Structure 1
Amino acid sequence: MTLTSLLDSLHTHLQSQTQLLPTLHAQLGLPPTALEDDLKNLQEQLIQGVEKHIDLRRKQVDEWMESCEAVETVCIRYTKALGGNVKATGTSLGELRKEQSLPRRYELVTEFQEKLRQTYHAKLEQLTTLTNRLNHLARTLGTLYFAQDVLEATPAAGEAAFDATAPRDITPERFLKLEKELVRGKAEVTKRLHQLSAVFVQIDWLYSELGMPPPLPGESPPPPTSMATDDPFCVSTPTPASRTSSTTPLLFQDNEEAEYLRIFGNFVARIEEVEEGSLVGLEGVEPTQGLLEWAAMLHSSLEELKKKREAHIQAMYDQLEGLWRRLGVNEEAMDAFVEMHRGSTEEVIREYEEELERMLELKQDRMGQFIESAREEIVRLWDDLMVGEDEKADFAPFVDDEFTEELLTIHEDEIRRLKEERRMKAPLLASIKKYFQICDEEKELQAAAADQTRLLGRGRDPGRLLREEKMRKRVQKEKPRLEQDLLTSIPAWELEACKPFLIHGESILQLLLETVAVSQEQENKRKTTRAGTRATTPTGTSGGCSPRILHGIFRT
């Protein structure tokens, strides 16, 4: 039946039936208005019947729409959680919504929801496995190595963060992020294992250098500031707090340290197989922060112990070297002793201590020889510094004939003072000595110029004139430069040192000023001399030296 046929049949039926009403009204004796009332009543009943049926169908539609939307809402949440992974279902919610039949649409979206649910839980299981692996790495690398959102499942887009039942984010982007973090974590584990291997190799080498066997599980390695009580360098003393502290944390630490020592012991047992870049001996080892810190602390403590021993050996050697030289021990014997006692083991330390003790006993027996040796060194330093006689006389202990330990100490202090003075004056002393050498050459040129027969006698040197010319040029170039440098640098030194710079007891600054004055005087004389009076052979240089230099007062 169509709407048109329905209306036609209703029209025919109403027309035939309503024609009966006037007769029925007349038989009932009803007033004329009753017919109109009955027709209105029939109209209302027909309208209500149609609307009631329409409302019923509309309600059914609404119920189906509500059911579909509820399922579709769940599908949307799954879709957001899955992201690009939703493509695995082979369809989309938009396509299903095109279905006009609501029961069929409900059936389709329900099937789609089930597919999404299965896909979601499969991906969630994969993500949980990935997250568990990251959490396992975090226990090794430390909880701060990964961000918190990497170690925990995060809600999907649009879901409340505090809702534990909300779908988790399992999009391809989330998988990619976690996989990158997993790769990064594995690389860090490998890196730390290589670092641990290198530190273990160093620790084993340090134990060998120190002549100490590596500790076994149950033993304690030397702490950073102490070692076994028979080591002379560091001894730790337990404090009252350590005696009364709880034993539970210590037992835990001991168990942890025993495990670390076991790992180190296994590595050492296979250390011969270790090659650069390999991880032999560390298979299955997790490079936790605690293990790395323990290895670093052990390495640091052994390094510190080695440095302290080496410093102790160096201090003894410094003493021995001075004693050996004072006693006249030759270089070969000193080198032989050092070669025979290399390293920083306790045995080497004992050998140095015994040798030092023996040398100190010889020192006491030969105090006079030591003091004479010190005086010889003082004389050499005086010569280097060009010390004057008055300055030498100021050091009265030099002539003291009562040989004691105190007198030797005074001499050694003087040696240190003179060495420091030589160090401070070294650049200026080098320039002064070079200056004196130039003055000697100038004096030699003046003497040669005065000897007119040097070029006429038999067996004369044909290259002499050439050498003299080269020497003259050198004197003319270097002497003014050195004078200028010294006249600038010596006053600066005297100002800083607050004392005059003396050479053989005389002020070198005064000497230079005299020399410059002589040079200026000679220059003035040459300017007033007539050109025709010049000799064929030059008789001097462009300058002159102080008479005290020319007469050998300042010879080095």
Structure 2
Amino acid sequence: MTILQIERDLRVRLELLAKQKNERLEELKILQQKDQELCSDLCVTPYYIPSGSIPSLVQLEELKEHIKVQTEEKRKRLQVFSTLRAEIRQCLNEMGRQPENSLEQDAICEDEEAFFLTPEPYQAITAYPKSLELKKEALLSTLKTVSEKVQSLWELLQVTQEEREACQKISGMSIFEELRMWESELARLDELKMANLKQVILKIREELKDYWDKCFYSPEQRKEFGPYYCDEFTEDLLSQHDEEVVKMKLLYEKCKLILDAVAKWESSWTQFVVLEKKACDPNRFSNRGGTLLKEEKERAKLQKLLSKLEEELKSRIDTWEAEQGRPFLIKGSKFMDYVATQWELLKHQKEREKQDRAQKKEETTPFKTPVKRPGGPCPQVTPSSKSRKLNGTTNSTMSRTNVTHSSASLTTQLLSL
């Protein structure tokens, strides 16, 4: 090739390379602008290409891939933000609250682009619904506590059903508004309670006695709460009763399973004692229609149930005592001691009833003195003399019978003493 041809080819080649250079620089400029915007939103480092250099095809492809990844990351964050924003709005509406700080305002803003998706705000907005949920749960817990107090005072003050329904008709209220309504009702009832101290305290004492019965408190344990027997009805006495009721309520709820099992044992024991008395009744054989057999089956069934309940309760109470570090008392005694005492009392009662029946039988049976017949033929007596003899014998026998009865009665009284 001549020099002119070589020069012409080089000029064509130069123009082609210059065109490629401009195209790459133009594409780099556009890509870097997109990358810079994405990285600014996401607060990440842009893809680095030395300034003043011409990017290679590989660098351009890597930059495109970097932009693609950041675009997807932004889409995910926006999607998460949109979901969280809906949850936050709903939670705030339910709680009846307005945005209190810039984070809450940004969280419920309409413009998604106005919220920066940088790591710090993004992490904060991600954790914010959890904190709101905790506040909501605390608000609901307070609402439940206040409503329970109101319902308890309704029962205590015997509030009419119409007044209760008027307060319970709640529709479209937020949790905050509902709480304010219940707090207002509680304040009204507190004022009413203070105006009727005596009636309220007497009502609380009934409730306290009911819990004592459920917890099988002995008379000694009940006497430990001195204010129960005080007749000076004051605010301090009312607060003491309230505290004792709360204490007994917590104790009952804590031991409810055990106490319910003990109540079942008590009920079964009462039925068993009744059947035991019937089994010892001498007149039981006069029953007809299979009643005796039914009672015997029921008695055997109850005896088996009592034994099973005693074993289960012993295991539960041992576990409870190991956890609490104190004895579990039923009417002032340990449960197994209480059970043993009941069985012993039943045994003594049966023996006493048996002795009473035997003594009663002795008292009702007249003593007969044996009469010795004389030997030889019977003498002939006239009817009149025979009548006189019989009358005399009868009078003598009755006198001896009366003396026997008096002796037996005196002996019974001495034995009882």
Judge same fold: TM > 0.5, yes or no: yes
Judging by fraction of residues, say which structure has more helix: 2
Select the residue among 153, 173, 176 that pairs with 1:323.
Answer: 153
Counterparts of residues 368-387 of structure 1 (less than 5 Å): 368-387=198-217
Shift of 1:382: 0.8
Structure-1 residue corresponding to 2:117:
289
Q: Deviations over 1:236-257 (max 9, x none)?
A: xxxxxxxxxxxxxxxxxxxxx8
Residues 1:187 and 1:424: Cα distance change in structure 2 (over 3 Å): same
Structure-2 residue corresponding to 1:118:
19
Shift of 1:490: 3.2
Which has the larger displacement, 355-364 or 408-417?
355-364
Q: Quick one: distance in 2 between partners of 1:400 and 1:124?
A: 97
**Structure 1 position 222 matched with structure 2 position 52:** no
Select the residue among 454, 467, 472 that pairs with 2:300.
Answer: 472
Select the residue among 47, 70, 83 that pairs with 1:151.
Answer: 47
**Structure 1 position 187 matched with structure 2 position 83:** no
Structure-2 residue corresponding to 1:547:
345
Structure-1 residue corresponding to 2:222:
392
Q: Deviations over 1:316-339 (max 9, x none)?
A: 434433332321125664354133
**Structure 1 position 168 matched with structure 2 position 168:** no
Shift of 1:389: 1.5
Shift of 1:351: 3.9
Q: Deviations over 1:197-247 (max 9, x none)?
A: 3344345445644556x7xxxxxx42399x9xxxxxxxxxxxxxxxxxxxx
Check the 8 A contact 1:342/1:348 in 2, yes or no.
Answer: no
Residues 1:330 and 1:394: Cα distance change in structure 2 (over 3 Å): same
Shift of 1:401: 1.0
Which has the larger displacement, 310-319 or 292-301?
292-301
**Structure 1 position 487 matched with structure 2 position 383:** no
Check the 8 A contact 2:47/2:66 in 1, yes or no.
Answer: no
| Counterpart secondary structure, 1:340 | coil
Supply the AA of the counterpart residue of 1:409: S
Check the 8 A contact 2:275/2:295 in 1, yes or no.
Answer: no
**Structure 1 position 427 matched with structure 2 position 289:** no
Shift of 1:372: 0.9
Check the 8 A contact 2:24/2:55 in 1, yes or no.
Answer: no
Select the residue among 27, 32, 36 that pairs with 1:135.
Answer: 36
Check the 8 A contact 1:223/1:298 in 2, yes or no.
Answer: no
Counterparts of residues 454-465 of structure 1 (less than 5 Å): 457-458=287-288, 460-461=289-290, 465=293
Q: Quick one: distance in 2 between partners of 1:549 and 1:501?
A: 25
Check the 8 A contact 1:381/1:418 in 2, yes or no.
Answer: yes
Residues 1:394 and 1:194: Cα distance change in structure 2 (over 3 Å): same
Q: Quick one: distance in 1 between partners of 2:242 and 2:349?
A: 36
Structure-1 residue corresponding to 2:245:
415
Q: Quick one: distance in 1 between partners of 2:176 and 2:160?
A: 27
Supply the AA of the counterpart residue of 2:311: Q
Shift of 1:106: 8.8
Q: Quick one: distance in 2 between partners of 1:198 and 1:315?
A: 32
Residues 1:121 and 1:465: Cα distance change in structure 2 (over 3 Å): farther
Supply the AA of the counterpart residue of 2:336: L
Counterparts of residues 435-454 of structure 1 (less than 5 Å): 435-443=265-273, 446-447=276-277, 449-450=279-280
Taking every aligned residue pair, what percent have the same amino acid on both sides?
Answer: 23
Supply the AA of the counterpart residue of 2:31: L
Shift of 1:196: 3.5
**Structure 1 position 503 matched with structure 2 position 330:** yes
Shift of 1:391: 1.7
Shift of 1:378: 0.4
Shift of 1:370: 1.2
Check the 8 A contact 1:193/1:287 in 2, yes or no.
Answer: no
Q: Deviations over 1:10-53 (max 9, x none)?
A: xxxxxxxxxxxxxxxxxxxxxxxxxxxxxxxxxxxxxxxxxxxx
Structure-1 residue corresponding to 2:370:
none
Q: Quick one: distance in 2 between partners of 1:550 and 1:329?
A: 51
Residues 1:347 and 1:181: Cα distance change in structure 2 (over 3 Å): same
Residues 1:406 and 1:186: Cα distance change in structure 2 (over 3 Å): same
The normalised TM-score by structure 1 is 0.51
Supply the AA of the counterpart residue of 1:153: I
Shift of 1:298: 8.6
Shift of 1:131: 2.6
Counterparts of residues 28-107 of structure 1 (less than 5 Å): none
Supply the AA of the counterpart residue of 2:309: L
Shift of 1:395: 1.8
Identify unmatched segments of 5+ residues in structure 1. 1-98, 155-163, 215-220, 228-256, 268-280, 516-544
Residues 1:548 and 1:388: Cα distance change in structure 2 (over 3 Å): farther
Supply the AA of the counterpart residue of 1:168: P
Check the 8 A contact 2:25/2:54 in 1, yes or no.
Answer: no
Q: Return the index of the structure with the highest Cα Rg.
A: 1
Residues 1:482 and 1:151: Cα distance change in structure 2 (over 3 Å): same
Q: Quick one: distance in 2 between partners of 1:495 and 1:298?
A: 43
**Structure 1 position 197 matched with structure 2 position 98:** no
Shift of 1:116: 4.4
| Counterpart secondary structure, 2:255 | helix
Identify unmatched segments of 5+ residues in structure 2. 351-417
Which has the larger displacement, 389-398 or 449-458?
449-458
Which has the larger displacement, 288-297 or 437-446?
288-297
Q: Deviations over 1:145-192 (max 9, x none)?
A: xxx4x52226xxxxxxxxx54442322xx4444334333333333333
Residues 1:198 and 1:376: Cα distance change in structure 2 (over 3 Å): same
Structure-2 residue corresponding to 1:32:
none
Check the 8 A contact 2:24/2:54 in 1, yes or no.
Answer: no
Shift of 1:467: 7.7
| Counterpart secondary structure, 1:168 | coil
